[in-house]
A and B are shown apart, each in its own frame.
Chain A
């Protein structure tokens, strides 16, 4: 599985903000910490604000802060804002599988996608953050 760039940036930003929900961070704060594109991250942040995942705070010292519930928001909830996580084979009639070979390949990718989504849909931000903290303590 390869997450698209926007999903990955969204996960990074949301986990960074959700780690301390009271804290406000700007796009450049996050971009600098993870060495990622500020421009690309800004577009992702606008989408996250529009979806109500994060809140934009105006004024001096303003920035973004997490607006959701870490115990209710899963990684899939964030990813789904940017992609469907459904595999596609680069075939002209993909999705209209009349050929048994294509149909079988489609069935296999569906099985993989189902498992992938099931895993991502049961990892809440709280769980991911707890594991992140443990990794930080071990390092």
Chain B
């Protein structure tokens, strides 16, 4: 399958230190804007634990320096870098997507 960079909107649309959900080719993707080190991450919006579209509403943090998001429903945490489940219990990992910022817009690389 081919991959393509898709424009998901202007940087100013993405609240700082928070997640925002975008719709890309029918997919729900959570995008996280961490302005402190100018970092952006994108992961699936679906929490694999209870299968709800909520990860964009989770708290951002880090586990031993590794950035993570914590699901608002049951506090499962996932690495924003590689999608690995990093809290206790047996929960699947999540999919991550490459993000880049160009000319004031945010782009995600997804399969088309």
Tell me whether A and B are bound partners: no
- Measuring CB to CB, which residues of chain B are less than 8 angstroms from any residue of chain A? none
Chain A residues with a Cβ under 8 A of chain B: none
